[in-house]
Structure 1
Amino acid sequence: MSIGEGSDTNLNTMRGRDFPAIRQFTVFMENRVGQLLEVVRRFEGTGIRVAALSINDSAECAFVRLVLSDCERGRELLERAGLAIIETDLLGVELPDGPQPLLRVCTALLAAEINIIQAYPLLSRPNGEPAVALMVDNIDLAMDTLNNKGFRMITEGDLKDDSIE
């Protein structure tokens, strides 16, 4: 008998479920001139767009956080390049019409006692509307909270652009 055979344990991972999050890749690199260009250039001619970007640097190294229009192919390119990466889930949320849309998002999350760890705008505008990518301390509760308040979540499918190939 093989390991796990006959077990009733569900072995699906988070990626195995219908999870409306977007993936972020954090790329660790030496902090020197031209390194960002080298990373971004890897997507040239592939049809993969950088949908969001954030950079944190120190004297010795830099952390480049990317959201890509095609996460599966993007991860493959980054791994093939031998880059050190970490993959995490972010919450993508379309900003509503009206004054102070970010205030409305923050207020909804605060009411549920959800902490925002990172935030940055999406360069790509799914549905033509402004949107932000958020790393939060409880993504499931954040999604439920924002859905219940009528916010529209951005998924990886919203970031794909079939016209680019």
Structure 2
Amino acid sequence: MIRQISVFVENQPGSMMNVTNVLTEAHVNIRAISTFDTPEFGIMRLVVDDPVRAKESLTSKGFVNRVNDVIGAELKDEKGNLNQMLKILADGQINVNYIYSFVIREGKAPVMVFHTDDFEKAESVLKQADVKLVEEAEL
């Protein structure tokens, strides 16, 4: 299991940089990032090397944030691998709430990060299908 931090930011120039600045000052390394926006605010989802320090630093600077679990599945960079993983989850009747990827892993395969309502079942069906799951320490 991987812990992800979600940060709520205003939808205005510099708001994402303000978040990354706090993390930089706290010596937190960002491994993956995804953003979603609405007209009023955005949500930054980040996988970092130290989620506890990231949360403490952001909270101390007034950012609304939370840490939650996500699953990381290592997929070889080959055509159809993402589709195969999503088929495994769909066949297992597992809903994927959102998904994003990161590839900078010093020579290792890319990782698809996703959130679901049933982590145990998702991990079980993926392991049964020989999909390599990534733990936070492996990032």
Query: TM-score, normalization: structure 1?
Result: 0.77
> Could you tell me which of 82, 86, 103 is aligned with 2:83?
103
- Determine if contact 1:31/1:60 at 8 Å carries over to the other structure: yes
The CA distance in 1 between the partners of 2:44 and 2:96, in whole Å, is 19
For structure 2, the residue ranges without an aligned partner over 5 or more in a row are none
Cα distance, 1:47 vs structure 2: 3.9
Superposition RMSD in Å: 1.7
Counterpart mapping for 1:4-43 below 5 A? 21-43=1-23
Amino acid across the alignment from 2:132: R
How many residues in Structure 1 have an aligned counterpart in Structure 2? Answer: 139
The CA distance in 1 between the partners of 2:121 and 2:7, in whole Å, is 27
- Tell me which residue corresponds to 1:118: 98
- Determine if contact 1:126/1:158 at 8 Å carries over to the other structure: no
- Tell me which residue corresponds to 1:142: 122
SS of structure 1 residue aligned to 2:24: coil
Q: Does 1:71 align with 2:51?
A: yes
Cα distance, 1:48 vs structure 2: 2.0
- Listed one character per residue, the Cα deviations across residues 79-121 of structure 1 (whole Å, up to 9, x for unaligned) are 2222101222100010036431101111111111001110001
Report sequence identity in percent: 27
Amino acid across the alignment from 1:148: Q
Query: TM-score, normalization: structure 2?
Result: 0.90
> Could you tell me which of 63, 67, 72 is aligned with 1:83?
63
Q: Which has the higher strand share?
A: 2
Cα distance, 1:124 vs structure 2: 3.5
Larger deviation, residues 119-128 vs 55-64: 119-128
Larger deviation, residues 143-152 vs 71-80: 71-80
The CA distance in 2 between the partners of 1:35 and 1:85, in whole Å, is 14
